[in-house]
């Protein structure tokens, strides 16, 4: 236990020094709770760029939107939402520290670090209340676990999923297939 705490402390110290030496990066939130590496629920499979564009187009992302990507990987959806679709802001939730580093580097290269945030956190514990659009590329069992959280969002919040829908009892408003990939569009209903 003591060695484990020491490794986490050393890892956090190394991360802090790295940030200080590298310079500004997109904001990454890390709490003491998530500083302990959680096991990943899925392997990383990047969404192809044409599918990213299809997802954000189906959601009609624009200047008034705040986009949340759950399981944001290298940050491509978050970055595209801001850079290519003009979203006001975008937030990515990701547990994998390698992907978080890559996402921050990609945001810096895209020169949009002031409009994006990558959170090292559990997407099931995320506060999604600010989101107007949510994107996911998660396994069906994970999407299904998110449904109760999604149903509590503001009416009209748009949800777009890659390859997997949400549940049998929440039918998508739209489904399109592009290059063998399914994209599902949902809207949170009024209460």
Structural domain contains residue 110: yes
Structural domain contains residue 96: yes
Structural domain contains residue 113: yes
Structural domain contains residue 6: no
Structural domain contains residue 1: no
Structural domain contains residue 15: no
Distances from the Cα of 98 to the Cα of 72, 94, 104, 106, angstroms: 12, 10, 10, 12
Structure confidence at residue 38 (pLDDT): 56
Q: What is the CATH number of the domain that holds 102?
A: 3.40.50.150
**Number of independent structural domains in the chain:** 1
Q: Domain of 66? A: 26-187
- Which residue, 120, 114, 26, 126, is CA-closest to 68? 126
* Residue pLDDT, tens place only, 81-111: 999 999 999 999 999 999 999 999 999 999 9
Chain-centroid distance, C-alpha 5: 28
Structure confidence at residue 13 (pLDDT): 34
Q: What is the pLDDT along the chain (191 residues), one digit of tens a residue?
A: 444 333 333 333 333 333 333 333 344 444 333 444 556 667 788 999 999 999 999 999 999 999 999 999 999 999 999 999 999 999 999 999 999 999 999 999 999 999 999 999 888 999 999 999 999 999 999 999 999 999 999 999 999 999 999 998 999 999 999 999 999 999 999 86
């Amino acid at each position: 236990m003591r060695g484990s705490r020491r490794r986490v402390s050393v890892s956090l110290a190394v991360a802090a020094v790295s940030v200080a030496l590298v310079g500004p990066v997109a904001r990454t939130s890390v709490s003491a709770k998530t500083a302990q590496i959680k096991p990943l629920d899925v392997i990383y499979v990047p969404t192809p760029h044409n599918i990213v564009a299809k997802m954000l187009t189906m959601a009609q992302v624009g200047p008034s939107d705040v986009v949340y990507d759950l399981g944001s990987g290298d940050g491509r959806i978050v970055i595209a939402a801001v850079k290519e679709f003009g979203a006001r802001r975008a937030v990515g939730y990701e547990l994998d520290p390698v992907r978080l580093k890559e996402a921050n580097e990609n945001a810096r290269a895209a020169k949009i670090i002031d409009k994006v945030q990558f959170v090292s956190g559990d997407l099931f514990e995320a506060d999604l209340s600010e989101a107007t659009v949510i994107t996911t590329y998660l396994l069906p069992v994970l999407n299904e676990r998110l449904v109760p959280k999604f149903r509590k969002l503001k009416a009209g919040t748009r949800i777009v999923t890659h390859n997997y829908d949400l549940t049998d009892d929440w039918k998508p408003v739209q489904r399109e297939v592009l290059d063998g990939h399914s994209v599902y569009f949902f809207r949170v209903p009024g209460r």
